[in-house]
A and B are shown apart, each in its own frame.
Chain A
């Protein structure tokens, strides 16, 4: 049981900490060439494993769709479209990632759909601006006025209708907004350091999927 816990939980945590600390220490303290070479190799391995993780994501999604088809769950026929699209694209991609048909499918199908889906928010934003965006209190008014001035600054006609928005908008963006974001950057930076301390010390284990295992064990 001890060695079970060691292999399944403790060793991965220790490995995370060793690799992370190696990366950090190398940056601040001169290290022997062996350590530097090891770090270069680790980073190289990391890119390969990360590519593998992306492939894993595709595998998991595809298994989900296949299960939907096999169990005839919900609108399972749409999953057939997913599988057919995946297979056809993959066939051309495995021939070559620079294959003409492969690039045609990506450039003229995925790319436009992705752009269109990504742009849907424009419509929701405009509808929300009319229905929901209200100057109810000083917080909302600050947000509203800043947004209004900056959008007016960005659209060429805004500068013609309301000329003062250009210098005011540039000032808002360069100074008060910049100060606010600087505070967020510092806060985020402290958060990353705090996260690193928690992960390397083993106090945070979610990245290792421990909750999933607990449910499986019971």
Chain B
């Protein structure tokens, strides 16, 4: 077996170990590099910034355990951004797994607010919790008649006892939608069930892998920008001047990405050498 064959047939576990080390190293020894803000993130930030102060904003929180480290920092900063503008934030979730993380994001956001910003539960924000069954049909039921699917908020307080929900019962009562979809693939639900029927503008967040899936909605104007993955969260933190954990995580992708690129180049180089030798 030639050296190239041996290298190509290397035990996968060695590659796994190299990747582990490549991803762990920048966490232990952070390397900070300049980072340009992507256009999609800038558009999303400007959309939120342009929401009139005091408006009602509908907020879907769809990050689970796996995606909260990436989307969570951005969610926290987004909630801070909205509360600073005195917006009334109504948060819901279409998945049971996301509910504790939504409340965690709210709690972390409240800690970052200065004392002069009003942030009372039931007055400035509310966590309505989980809509049963999940999926697009749950969203449709919710945005057409909130009280048909929910009687109380996450803490068990009846909806009708919450000042923030007075006179609010469907999507037309909101000025904007924040759709933090995580990796659920749920952004199209918001576009189909809220943006088109009710004409309420929307921006969103998704994991990095889903960004290309939603680029048609951005270019058609149905989605106002998009915050993609941990890099999007880091960019939001930077734009709002509220440093957080996302930047470190975004930087930590450097070595892993480099390893992948080297693996592709090496693998193809060996392949081309073997092909030139007539072995492939």
Contact = CB atoms under 8 A, between A and B. Distances in A.
Contacts of B271: 134-135
Residue of A44, A133, A144 with most chain B CB atoms under a 10 A cut-off: A44
Interface in B243-280: 250-251, 253-254, 256-261, 263-264, 266-268, 271
Interface in B184-220: 197, 208, 211-213, 215-216, 218-220
Contacts of A118: 66
A114 B267 contact: no
Interface string A125-165: 11101111111000000001000100110111111100000
Nearest to A183: B216
Contacts of B145: 40, 43-44
A156 B234 CA distance: 12
B132 interface: yes
A64 interface: no
A157 B69 contact: no
Residue of B64, B154, B261 with most chain A CB atoms under a 10 A cut-off: B261
A47 B211 contact: no
B24 to A, nearest CB: 13
A112 interface: yes
A123 B15 contact: yes
Contacts of A82: none
Interface string B141-174: 1001100110000110000000000000000000
A160 B33 contact: yes
B35 interface: yes
Contact of A44 (B15, B19, B141, B263): B141
B131 interface: yes
Contacts of A40: 141, 144-145, 148
Contact of B267 (A47, A122, A131, A182): A131
Contacts, number: 163
Contacts of A114: 64-66
A126 to B, nearest CB: 5
A114 to B, nearest CB: 5
A182 B133 CA distance: 29
Interface residues of A, number: 57
A173 B100 contact: no
A27 B197 contact: yes
B132 A51 contact: yes
A40 B134 CA distance: 16
A106 interface: yes
Interface in B53-102: 64-66, 68-69, 96, 100
Nearest to A115: B66
B36 A151 contact: no
A98 interface: yes
Interface of B: 8, 12, 15-16, 19-20, 23, 33-36, 38-39, 64-66, 68-69, 96, 100, 131-135, 137-138, 140-141, 144-145, 148-149, 154-155, 197, 208, 211-213, 215-216, 218-220, 231, 250-251, 253-254, 256-261, 263-264, 266-268, 271
Interface of A: 27, 40-41, 43-44, 46-51, 53-54, 98, 103, 106-107, 110-112, 114-115, 118-119, 122-123, 125-127, 129-135, 144, 148, 151-152, 154-160, 166, 170, 173-174, 177-179, 181-182, 185
